[in-house]
Amino acid sequence: MQNNNPLILVVEDDRAIRSLIKNTLEIHSYKSVAAENGQKALLQITSYHPDIVLLDLGLPDMDGIEIIKKVRQWSICPIIVISARTEDNDKISALDAGADDFLTKPFSVEELLARIRSTVRRLQYSETESFSREEIFKNGELVIDYSAATVRLGENQLHLMPIEYNVLCLLARNMGRVLTYSYILDHVWRNSLDGDVSSLRVYMASLRKKIEPGDNRGKYIQTHIGIGYRMLCVE
């Protein structure tokens, strides 16, 4: 990211929404470029290398999910998908194709800015901590020592079941991204037969009791009902 002033590409065919988003970004001192269709979006991504892409899924010339798949062949740039409330399956396909986050239409300006801030925070975090390569993961009081396979919360060593540990590591290595149920099941359970959404929920409930005790519920892990889970980047 250049000069802590991220460049955001807005991909949206609806002119009113596009200019609302662009104006909002400009007022809040973000740099932005815009594209009204998929072809242009791909061109802009190649030529400008934006730090964040806001991508409407319903475009006139191309399915937004195709764009994500294409971009993911060569770029890990964060993609925040924008879609209508009724399109839960589209959100899931978009996340599984490699989108990082989603916003549901209609959304408020505050919601949009909050998503962008949290993405920027994660970009800064991954630049400074290079957390994907580190042996120790730290997020607030939560500490994972990957080489020793241990987890601490503050001073307390936690006792996690192997599946809880594997889910936690997967969420940590993808901090800030919404991971879908099927993504988690594929990565944690692999070919085992007992991997299904209801057992995942049971393990998540148990994991959360351990890492979010008392009134800390929701501090580290955000639930997206019907979609999946995300680890939040704690200040």
Nearest distance from C-beta of residue 141 to Ca ion, angstroms: 42
Q: Calculate the alpha carbon distances from 175 to 68, 71, 78, 126 in Å.
A: 19, 20, 12, 9
Nearest distance from C-beta of residue 132 to Ca ion, angstroms: 33
Nearest distance from C-beta of residue 58 to Ca ion, angstroms: 4
Nearest distance from C-beta of residue 158 to Ca ion, angstroms: 44
Taking the least distance from each CB to Ca ion, the nearer of 13 and 63 is 13
Nearest distance from C-beta of residue 5 to Ca ion, angstroms: 28
Taking the least distance from each CB to Ca ion, the nearer of 13 and 212 is 13
Residue closest to Ca ion when measured from CB atoms: 58
Integer Cα distance of 99 and 76 in angstroms: 9
> CB-based contacts of 204: which residues, under 8 Å, 6+ apart?
167, 221, 223, 229
Taking the least distance from each CB to Ca ion, the nearer of 16 and 205 is 16
Taking the least distance from each CB to Ca ion, the nearer of 41 and 179 is 41
| Percent composition of the chain: helix, strand, coil (DSSP 3-state, to 5) | 45, 25, 35
Integer Cα distance of 60 and 148 in angstroms: 51
Residues at the contact surface with Ca ion, assessed by CB under 5 A = 13, 56, 58
Taking the least distance from each CB to Ca ion, the nearer of 51 and 56 is 56
- In this structure, the number of other CB atoms found within 10 A of the CB of residue 45 comes to 23
* 8-state DSSP, 216: G
Helical H runs in the chain? 15-27, 38-48, 64-72, 88-97, 109-129, 162-173, 181-188, 197-211
Contact 52, 9 (CB under 8 A): yes
Taking the least distance from each CB to Ca ion, the nearer of 62 and 143 is 62
Nearest distance from C-beta of residue 94 to Ca ion, angstroms: 13
The structure tokens listed for 204 are 């998540």
124: Cα separation from own chain's centroid: 14
Taking the least distance from each CB to Ca ion, the nearer of 7 and 84 is 84
Nearest distance from C-beta of residue 75 to Ca ion, angstroms: 22
